[in-house]
Amino acid sequence: MGPLTILAVNPGSTSTKIALFRDEEPVFKANVVHDAQTLAAFPQVCDQLDYRVDTILAACAAAGVDLSRCDAFAGRGGGLNSCQGGTYRVNDTILAHARRGGGNHPAALGSQIAQKFALRYGKPAFIVNPPDVDEYCDEARVTGLKDVYRNASTHALNQKETAIRMAAQLGRNYEDCNFIVCHLGGGVSITAHKKGRMVDSNGIINGEGPMAPTRSGALPAAEVVELCYSGQYTKAELMRRITKSGGFVDHLGTSETLEVAEKIRQGDQYAALIYRAFQYQIAKEIGSMAAVLRGKIDAIVLTGGISHDQTLRKNLKAMVGFLAPVYAFPGEFEMEALAAGARRVLTGQETEKVYTGEPVFSGWNR
């Protein structure tokens, strides 16, 4: 089999990232920006599908990129019921659930855009480790309230790709390793990878684990209840404070770690405290995932944009390096992950999965 050409598609709120790979090498990358006023005219994000497709095609044509030469198209998934990790060929159920469950989240457009290209050029479309991946063990789901349980919400695409890269660096298969992978970015997810499965993690949506640049992380439940009934906030306002303007934003008025670093350089002691606390909380969460893996850890892996910070890496290594070697894969590998998943299926290294829509977990049978 000759080199495989795969287009990866990752929709964002006002743009769509695209990258053309020939085997593992990127030969073209672009961030296709969409007109904000045009996007605002669509009632739902999924209504933007044809407009985004046309815009992407125009950008590819202008760059001389011939999509008819692609062997497959891989889109960011989203809007699905919980599912196992892996690479899924886009089917009617995926498309129906993406339209139904995606709401106004642009990730739900990934499968739909990929399928549009697949139909146009007669090649397969895939999604890879969508945000809906849930591989928790049963014990991880239980809370102290019988009608409240935990579902997974992690950076599955980048988490899995980083773990695969870590295993390859060790000369091993991902399915044979135990890792703690820490995605440190706008959101923070610290995840126990046990023999190829993400068996536990802090949820990045519902308020768990470390604070993040825009998210509160875990909070004392009783005090949150007091805030709910204080009359100071509507439900929407408090949810926004927890999920959109918590963390660094709430404490320091910025979500940019470079701005936080500058505040610290200028002698802002409170900024220094918050950034130390951020690292402290990450280390605590790593410790909890170490217990999940019973101390059998091949590596602790740092990824995401914030892991570029060498001081943070040094501090985390000092705090948790006794558990396992600490490695850093700074940045994100989402585009590479999309192409790699499709390539593994096309080359027979991985068996494609079939999305049925049956949730991995839908409550306890008591």
DSSP codes, 212-274? -SS---S--HHHHHHHHTSSS--HHHHHHHHHTS-HHHHHHS---HHHHHHHHHTT-HHHHHH
Render pLDDT for 349-359 as a digit per residue (tens, 0 to 9).
999 999 999 99
Query: Largest Cα–Cα distance in the chain?
Result: 65
* Measured distance CA(263)–CA(258) in Å, rounded: 9
In this prediction, residue 365 has a pLDDT band, given cuts at 50, 70 and 90, of confident
Which amino acid makes up residue 111?
S
In this prediction, residue 366 has a pLDDT band, given cuts at 50, 70 and 90, of low
* Measured distance CA(35)–CA(311) in Å, rounded: 39
* Measured distance CA(76)–CA(335) in Å, rounded: 9
Render pLDDT for 86-96 as a digit per residue (tens, 0 to 9).
999 999 999 99
Buried b (16+ CB within 10 A) or exposed e, 152-191: bbbbbbbbbbbbbbbbeebeeebeebbbbbbbbbbbbbbb
* Measured distance CA(123)–CA(117) in Å, rounded: 8
- Helix (H) or strand (E) holding 95, with range, is helix 92-101
Cβ–Cβ under 8 Å, residues 182 and 307: yes
Q: Is 229 left (phi over 0), alpha (psi -120 to 50) or beta?
A: alpha
Tell me: pLDDT of 246 over 90: yes
Report the predicted TM-score, pTM, of the whole model to 2 decimal places. 0.94
* Measured distance CA(200)–CA(141) in Å, rounded: 9
Q: How buried is residue 259: exposed, middle or buried, by Cβ count under 10 Å (0-12/13-18/19+)?
A: middle
DSSP class of residue 187 equals S
| Complete domains list, the chain, with CATH | 5-132+335-346 (3.30.420.40), 138-332 (3.30.420.40)
- Mean pLDDT, residues 266-293: 98
What percentage of residues in the chain have a pLDDT greater than 70?
A: 99
Which amino acid makes up residue 55?
T
Which amino acid makes up residue 276?
R
* Measured distance CA(193)–CA(293) in Å, rounded: 8
Render pLDDT for 163-220 as a digit per residue (tens, 0 to 9).
999 999 999 999 999 999 999 999 999 999 999 999 999 999 888 999 999 999 999 9
The label of the residue with tokens 């980048």 reads 158
